[in-house]
Structure 1
């Protein structure tokens, strides 16, 4: 592998991770400053990004897979469930957590998914609890306590609805990660994620169709934020991540993907001006440390790169 190819891979995965993290913060601004409705943004984001990813597959990769995935009834059924209970659930719960709280907390809570997978596999007796797993759980629980309480038992420093939606986002991501394994073993990631986004976006369109939105009163910068969330924070972020796998090891992409929560926290605090206490910073450090430990030591089947695949 040439040094140029490796450098390109590093730039791609780092750009994708930053796009994901900043995309959550920009979504928060759209919700809380411009009154954009969660259902509308999720359905629009999924539909447009899904169609664009399928277009990338059609133009530059094996286009036959786009329809092949539907030829087997069992595979098609799994794909529909993945789109509804996996992709749509992850996206909606994550965005709802941002809407009720902020992007930093929502992103960090979603990163509890690997811990939930560890607990699930141990309870199902599919794996034995290791010392590394115990340390992962301790970092996750301790980090969440500090993040959500800022070190005080008197009450939460984050609105309860944001916490509930954030934890549900982690649960959804755990399901998303485990349920996608058989599909990703047979078909390209762009095909599976592209169709899952399209399915999820189409389903939510029955509740809030993308074409029924009053955007006339938005200032020009709001349109720019919408384009960023849909194009950069969704479609390009995932594409860059997939392309980086051509020149980097999966462990490297997972490790560098940890820039996402850091980008979300920094932009939430310094761009949007959200208050963040000392203990919340310590909690953030614990959670990012957990992520780095999983990326460096390797994780159970299905947990590696889970967040990168779901933050679209």
Structure 2
């Protein structure tokens, strides 16, 4: 989400889902121990990279760059870097235009805009933990909209995640965090449902689309959509020539900006997609769940956003519930 927080982990940063093969036209080979280790390292790198998106973005927002301009900078910068990938897979535009537009609208623009709006009002860790309600919401979509059966284990995991959310936001205090920020985080979780549905649709039918193409064009279309909404020409981009404050320390604004584009988006996407080639979907999904942990720890260390015991306990329940729901659904599939 990223936002964010990679799809494969139900993190709302829009990345290809872990059950998508890198090349849809052929099945992935059975992973050996060596390739599995490589896939694990790539998946870990992706989770760490995605987890740093909010920590890199928040100093820019606090320096005066609006959340919409910040997310535009992230998406547009990543889309520019991935233009060669989009050109290589340009045939995807003719084969599945609706899929790419929907992915750009929900999985990129929607997720990232809601997530960045959320972190401008509530702590990064809290926003990402709320975003991890994506798995329970996805189960609700499958059960109520698609009318498909859902296992009891998955339903139990969804219930645990919702209980964890109550602890994260401390509902007994009438929401100890900004309610609007919480709503934005929930919006990111809802957009994540669209991400999973569209990512799964990309490999179905007679005209499957390579996940690399979905990622590249999703970012490109998301950047175009965000341009009309964010109006970046009205932003004060001179802020990037000055310094920002991160937990009391000053650093050039270009440092978190470039980190957000190159590491938290481009590197995170590419390593996440390639890791799927070497790992089974359940393993890739479990590793991606570390994104929320990484984001919370980085925000704690670099931004000084300390969470209390109830938030930490609630976060553990959210992650445990999301993992249970996701692994149950993956096993059944």
TM bucket (normalised to shorter chain) is 0.7 to 0.9
What is the CA distance between 1:56 and its match in structure 2? Answer: 4.0
Change (3 A) 1:82 1:295: closer
1:42/1:170 CA distance change after superposition, 3 Å: same
**Residue 41 of structure 2 is aligned to residue 41 of structure 1:** no
Question: Which one of 195, 198, 204 corresponds to residue 179 of structure 1?
Answer: 198
Match for residue 289 of structure 1 among 317, 320, 324: 320
**Following TM superposition, by how much is the alpha carbon of 1:254 offset from its aligned partner in structure 2, in angstroms?**
0.9
Distance in 2 between residues matched to 1:296 and 1:129, nearest whole Å:
12
- Residues 278 and 164 (structure 1 numbering): CA distance in 2 closer, same or farther, change over 3 Å? same
The residue aligned with 1:194 is 216
Alignment match, 1:162? 181
Deviation at 1:296, TM superposition (A): 4.0
Q: Deviations over 1:282-301 (max 9, x none)?
A: 10110111233245444389
Name the structure where helix makes up a greater proportion of residues: 1
1:157–1:301 CA distance, 2 compared to 1 (3 A): farther
Residue equivalent to 1:67: 90
1:79 aligns with 2:100: yes
- Aligned match of 1:307: none
Aligned to 2:24: none
Q: How many Å apart are 1:142 and its aligned residue?
A: 0.7
Pair 265,193 (structure 1): closer, same or farther in 2 beyond 3 Å: same
TM-score by length of 2: 0.80
> How many residue pairs end up in the alignment?
291
What do you get for the CA RMSD once the two structures are aligned?
2.2
Which of residues 250, 253, 256 is equivalent to 2:284? Answer: 253
In structure 1, stretches of 5+ residues that fail to align are 303-312
Paired residue for 1:136?
A: 157
Q: How far apart in 2 are the matches of 1:131 and 1:85? A: 29
Counterparts of 1:6 and 1:134, CA distance in 2: 30
- Give the aligned partner of residue 310 of structure 1: none
2:256 is the counterpart of 1:237? no
Deviation of the 1:238 alpha carbon: 0.9
Give the structure 2 partner of residue 26 of structure 1: 56
What residue is the counterpart of 1:306 in the other structure? none
TM-score (norm 1): 0.85
Query: Which shows bigger deviation, 288-297 or 113-122?
Result: 288-297
1:113–1:173 Cα contact (<8 Å) kept? yes
For the 8 Å contact 2:154–2:324, the answer to whether it is kept is no
> Are 1:11 and 2:16 counterparts?
no
CA 1:234–1:184 in 2, change beyond 3 Å: closer, same or farther?
Answer: farther
User: Quick check: 164-173 or 195-204, which moved more?
Assistant: 195-204
Q: Secondary structure at the match of 2:252?
A: helix
How much does 1:239 deviate? 0.3
> Is the aligned partner of 1:98 residue 2:128?
no
